Amino acid sequence: NVSNSSTVVDELLDTIVAAKHRGVTVRIIMAEGRNDNEEVALEFAKENIPVFWIRGRFMHHHNKAFIVDGRIVLICSINWSEESISENREAGVVIEHDGVAGWYQEVFDYDWGIAEYDAPEYVNVGWYPNIPTSSSDINVTVYAHEYYNDIDEVKLGVKINDGAWTNYTITSNVYDSSELDLENFFHEIGPQPDMTNITVKAYVYSLGEWSSGLEMVIPVRDSIGSIITTTTTTPPDGLAQLIADLLPYIAMTIVAVIAGICYKKRS
């Protein structure tokens, strides 16, 4: 568990961790220096959930959202704080629509590609499409902007289901980042059968040392299923329950969490 306390925020964090334990791929972006974000990030790190930070690019990273399975998005004014969830008058909307969720996923992926991390060993990696089908080529990108120009070699480890790891040297497969620097490295994985789980791990050799990222799972799914998200009104006391209720229904696919403030109220 993230915490032994019973606050609403801790329940949400525990639910995210439980999704990870079910095999769901979880990615989190946070705003740096906001309340207890760093404490929460350390707890997520213990669960091998990658947390990256928006630093300096914007005045403040103020978006609060969940993007689920590439088709459901929760956008809201709710800070992940006890007061905001339990006491404030807040507004939020859950939309189940591939196009709308896809637009927000593109925003998340852009931020993911420029996000930073606390230690060099956390090499960032992303992929497209986020939820490939059995007919999709999968483009995996290693984001190496934290190393600037001091990059000697980049590798991507790929494991199909429970098979052996294959390491690909992708140093020459490089393209411009959003900052117009040659620091994004890619590898294309061909189509895989439905229900395949592809595990990837990035490695960067810089200044005489190898650094690596967390293992991340890319699920290949031709269908995800359906959930009903047609609640028309939700009283303030039910906001936390609405958020918590969404997470257990997530299929074994992608959860992208954008956290504006994740504050754990202390007694």
Query: What was the pLDDT predicted at 36?
Result: 66
User: Can you name the residues that pair with 94 across neighbouring β-strands?
Assistant: 74
Average pLDDT, integer, range 121-143 = 90
At residue 138 the predicted structure's pLDDT band, cuts being 50, 70 and 90, is: very high
Neighbours of 144 (CB within 10 A): 24
Structure tokens at 160: 């199909």
**Whether residue 170 has pLDDT greater than 90:** yes
| 50 contacts: CB under 8 Å, gap ≥ 6 | 26, 27, 28, 44, 122, 124, 213, 214, 216
Query: What was the pLDDT predicted at 80?
Result: 74
The rounded percent of the chain whose pLDDT value lies above 70 is 74
Q: Which domains does the chain have, with CATH numbers?
A: 8-263 (2.60.40.10)
Query: What was the pLDDT predicted at 120?
Result: 45
User: Distance (Å, rounded) from C-alpha 246 to C-alpha 234?
Assistant: 14
User: Distance (Å, rounded) from C-alpha 209 to C-alpha 203?
Assistant: 10
Average pLDDT, integer, range 102-120 = 80
At residue 244 the predicted structure's pLDDT band, cuts being 50, 70 and 90, is: low
Write phi, then psi, for 100 (nearest 5 degrees). Answer: -65, -50
The alpha carbon of residue 85 and the mean position of all alpha carbons in its chain are separated, in whole angstroms, by 22
For the stretch 199-231, pLDDT in tens is 999 999 988 989 888 899 999 999 875 443 344
Whole-number mean pLDDT of the chain? 79
- Report the SS3 class of residue 127: strand
For the stretch 44-65, pLDDT in tens is 888 888 888 876 556 566 778 8
| Residue 40, CA distances (Å) to 16, 80, 156 in order | 12, 11, 28
**Cβ atoms of 77 and 89 closer than 8 Å:** no
Nearest to 9 by CA among 31, 32, 39: 39
Q: Which tops the pLDDT comparison, 30 or 80?
A: 30
Instruction: Give me the DSSP letters along 231-253.
Output: -----GGGHHHHHHHHGGG--SS
b/e per residue 195-211 (b: at least 16 CB within 10 A) = ebbbbbbbbbbbeeeeb
Query: What was the pLDDT predicted at 147?
Result: 73
| 254 contacts: CB under 8 Å, gap ≥ 6 | 24, 25, 27, 67, 68, 69, 70, 130, 131, 219
Query: What was the pLDDT predicted at 236?
Result: 45
Sign of CA dihedral 182, 188, 194, 198: negative
Q: Which of 43-57, 159-173, 189-203 has the lowest mean pLDDT?
A: 43-57
Query: What was the pLDDT predicted at 116?
Result: 76
How far apart are the two ends of the chain, measured CA to CA in Å? Answer: 19
Q: Is this structure's pTM higher than 0.85?
A: no
Query: What was the pLDDT predicted at 45?
Result: 83
User: Distance (Å, rounded) from C-alpha 229 to C-alpha 227?
Assistant: 6
| Residue 155, CA distances (Å) to 121, 160, 168, 214 in order | 14, 16, 5, 13
- State the DSSP code for 265: -
